[in-house]
Amino acid sequence: MSNSPLTPGIAPARLTPEAYARNFGDHDPVLDRHEARVAADRCYFCHDAPCITACPTSIDIPLFIRQIATGTPEAAATTIWTQNILGGMCARVCPTETLCEEACVRETAEGKPVEIGRLQRFATDVAMAKGGHPFSRAAPTGKRVAVVGAGPAGLACAHRLSMHGHDVVVLDRRPKAGGLNEYGIASYKAAGDFAQAEVEWLLRIGGIEVRTGVELGRDVSLDQLKADYDAVFLGLGLGGVNALRAEGEDKQGVRDAVDFIAELRQTRDLSSLAVGRDVVVIGGGMTAVDAAVQSKLLGAENVTIVYRRGQEKMSASRHEQDHALHAGVRIVCNAAPVRVIGNGTAEAVEFAYTRDKPDGLTLLSETFTLKADQVFKAIGQTLTGAPPGLKVTGGKFDGPSGKVWVGGDCAAGGEDLTVTAVAQGRDAAEAIHAVLVGG
């Protein structure tokens, strides 16, 4: 539920306009040309580069870094986009510290990897600023493909299909395309409306029609799409949010963290966004970290992340955890919510300490209470609105079925990362193309 500025303790405009601008600007400094050349010179250009293997989209990282080192960042960007058409956003949000940079030989030898993420951003930013599009469509095939979901998986699939000459219609239930990149990423990670700029750039290839405000199951059925199109790709994401299963979670002041992040991303005047003095975020993933850090940046006095298991089991990377701590967020582990306290409005949350044993999590009798006028639930998302006839395993679609392919967060085998979604969308497009042309 939404929080009104009239909710006790939750108020807008806690900071000055200057503070909002500073807090929600780019949180990582951008490399200039000289800095990029210096950073690129640290690469060993390994022949059997482990960083490529660690990248879910298999970007030729040594090649694009060499291209930066030789003063051709536009060529470097094309190398990146050949494998990852959303390389600009991935450069901003990828957990490179657990992917390509963790695998970097420099990291192994010196504890300081080549700054692959920042170099990727430099190259893609330079090339995008020059306009144009590095790819073109093949001759029209006369085939039409429906893509449901305009997130990273759907956009990557649509772009690759268009390159092959197929006509693509992308359907999305939200008012804007972009999916997770537009609605689910912390604002300071993708400042300056970059998500929309990247979508507009991607669509320059042509052959892709985007229809927003169209929801599968409400406005169109899967059977209709299968009848009207030669193939269908589902990149629906995960629309539902798990319940706390704690007493009082329906009180005012308690809401889903994903809704808070989406609202923040779509709010032009951050001073109008209400935030509590004492914020508690329940969960241990990236959504929890993003909600907690942004609460602090909006002016919350005390922000605490509470996770039911040990800190080493948090799905948010250690880099992101450290970023939260640096921002002033407290992290409490081995505790689970028991009840939200308050007379209609959240005032505190009672937690029980937990013990994580081989046979499952056990709640102990000892409890503690945290003051909270605002509570965010960030305990995982679930697949909603799954059309009949598709196999669902573990709460996600389990592979292609007939004329239907799947990818992104809604598909089994993913890691709920933008870069993984891009890889799955791209690979699904290649599989669809092979079928459509009889290959």
Is the confidence at residue 1, as pLDDT, over 80? no
Q: Across all residues in the chain, what is the average pLDDT?
A: 94
Q: What is the pLDDT of residue 4?
A: 45
Count of domains for the chain: 3
> In angstroms, rounded to a whole number, what is the distance separating the alpha carbons of residues 2 and 10?
11
Tell me if 322 is assigned to some domain.
Answer: yes
Instruction: Please write the tens of the pLDDT for every residue from 312-357.
Output: 999 999 999 999 999 999 999 999 999 999 999 999 999 999 999 9
Q: Residue 85 is part of which domain span? A: 33-129
Total-model pTM: 0.94
pLDDT band at 3 (very low <50, low <70, confident <90, very high): very low
Could you tell me if 230 and 347 lie in one domain? no
Check if the beta carbon of residue 117 is closer than 8 Å to that of residue 58: no
Could you tell me if 114 and 154 lie in one domain? no
Check if the beta carbon of residue 371 is closer than 8 Å to that of residue 205: no
Tell me if 337 is assigned to some domain.
Answer: yes
> In angstroms, rounded to a whole number, what is the distance separating the alpha carbons of residues 202 and 222?
26
Question: 359 or 295, which is more confident?
Answer: 295
Query: What's the one-letter identity of residue 10?
Result: I
Instruction: Please write the tens of the pLDDT for every residue from 26-60.
Output: 887 899 999 999 999 999 999 899 999 999 999 99
**CA-to-CA dists, residue 14 to 1, 76, 197, 347, angstroms:** 22, 43, 30, 19
Could you tell me if 257 and 234 lie in one domain? no
Instruction: Please write the tens of the pLDDT for every residue from 320-330.
Output: 999 999 999 99
Q: What is the pLDDT of residue 138?
A: 97
Instruction: Please write the tens of the pLDDT for every residue from 388-416.
Output: 878 888 788 887 788 999 999 999 876 77
Could you tell me if 105 and 187 lie in one domain? no
> In angstroms, rounded to a whole number, what is the distance separating the alpha carbons of residues 260 and 1?
10
In the 3-class helix/strand/coil scheme, how is the chain assigned residue by residue? Answer: CCCCCCCCCCECCCCCHHHHHHHCCCCCCCCCHHHHHHHHCCCCCCCCCHHHHHCCCCCCHHHHHHHHHCCCHHHHHHHHHHHCCCHHHHHHHCCHHHCHHHHCHHHHHHCCCCCHHHHHHHHHHHHHHCCCCCCCCCCCCCCEEEEECCCHHHHHHHHHHHHCCCEEEEEECCCCCCCHHHHCCCHHHCCCCHHHHHHHHHHHHCCEEEEECCCECCCECHHHHHHHCCEEEECCCCCEECCCCCECCCCECEEEHHHHHHHHHHCCCHHHCCECCEEEEECCCHHHHHHHHHHHHCCCCEEEEECCCCHHHCCCCHHHHHHHHHCCCEEECCEEEEEEECCCECCEEEEEEEEEECCEEEEEEEEEEEECCEEEECCCEECCCCCCCCCEECCEECCCECCEEECCCCECCCCCCHHHHHHHHHHHHHHHHHHHCCC
| Mean pLDDT along residues 363-370 | 97
Could you tell me if 248 and 359 lie in one domain? yes
**CA-to-CA dists, residue 198 to 23, 78, 83, 155, 177, angstroms:** 23, 14, 16, 10, 10
How open is the CA angle 164-168-174, to the nearest 5 degrees? 140
Is the confidence at residue 6, as pLDDT, over 80? no
Could you tell me if 248 and 323 lie in one domain? yes
Could you tell me if 286 and 336 lie in one domain? yes
pLDDT band at 438 (very low <50, low <70, confident <90, very high): confident
Q: What is the pLDDT of residue 7?
A: 65
Torsion over CA of 158, 162, 164 and 167, rounded to 10 degrees? 100
How open is the CA angle 411-158-153, to the nearest 5 degrees? 30
> In angstroms, rounded to a whole number, what is the distance separating the alpha carbons of residues 121 and 10?
37
CA atoms within a 13 Å half-sphere pointing along the CA-CB vector of 370: 26
Q: What is the pLDDT of residue 213?
A: 97
Tell me if 95 is assigned to some domain.
Answer: yes
Tell me if 137 is assigned to some domain.
Answer: no
> In angstroms, rounded to a whole number, what is the distance separating the alpha carbons of residues 87 and 142?
29
Nearest one of 242, 220, 230, 240 to 387, comparing CA atoms = 220
pLDDT band at 62 (very low <50, low <70, confident <90, very high): very high
Instruction: Please write the tens of the pLDDT for every residue from 266-280.
Output: 999 999 999 999 999
Instruction: Please write the tens of the pLDDT for every residue from 232-269.
Output: 999 999 888 888 889 999 999 999 999 999 999 999 99
Check if the beta carbon of residue 355 is closer than 8 Å to that of residue 361: yes
Question: Which residues, at least 6 apart from 140, have a Cβ–Cβ distance to it below 8 Å?
Answer: 165, 167
* Percent of the chain whose predicted confidence (pLDDT) is above 90: 85
Nearest one of 295, 341, 285 to 316, comparing CA atoms = 285
Last residue of a domain, one of 377, 396, 415: 377
Last residue of a domain, one of 377, 405, 428: 377
> In angstroms, rounded to a whole number, what is the distance separating the alpha carbons of residues 1 and 252?
7
Could you tell me if 318 and 217 lie in one domain? no
Check if the beta carbon of residue 370 is closer than 8 Å to that of residue 395: no
Tell me if 389 is assigned to some domain.
Answer: yes
Tell me if 57 is assigned to some domain.
Answer: yes
Point out which residues pair with 383 in neighbouring strands. none
Q: What is the pLDDT of residue 2?
A: 43
**Beta 381-382 vs 330-332: how paired, if at all?**
unpaired
Is the confidence at residue 371, as pLDDT, over 80? yes
Last residue of a domain, one of 78, 106, 129: 129
CATH number at residue 58: 1.10.1060.10
Could you tell me if 235 and 248 lie in one domain? no
Is the confidence at residue 127, as pLDDT, over 90? yes
How open is the CA angle 67-70-71, to the nearest 5 degrees? 90
Instruction: Please write the tens of the pLDDT for every residue from 420-432.
Output: 999 999 999 999 9
Tell me if 210 is assigned to some domain.
Answer: yes
Could you tell me if 373 and 285 lie in one domain? yes
pLDDT band at 5 (very low <50, low <70, confident <90, very high): very low
pLDDT band at 206 (very low <50, low <70, confident <90, very high): very high
Could you tell me if 296 and 365 lie in one domain? yes
Is the confidence at residue 387, as pLDDT, over 60? yes
CATH number at residue 275: 3.50.50.60
| Mean pLDDT along residues 68-92 | 97
Check if the beta carbon of residue 210 is closer than 8 Å to that of residue 172: yes
Question: Which residues, at least 6 apart from 395, have a Cβ–Cβ distance to it below 8 Å?
Answer: 382, 383
Is the confidence at residue 117, as pLDDT, over 60? yes
pLDDT band at 439 (very low <50, low <70, confident <90, very high): low
Could you tell me if 275 and 345 lie in one domain? yes
Tell me if 13 is assigned to some domain.
Answer: no
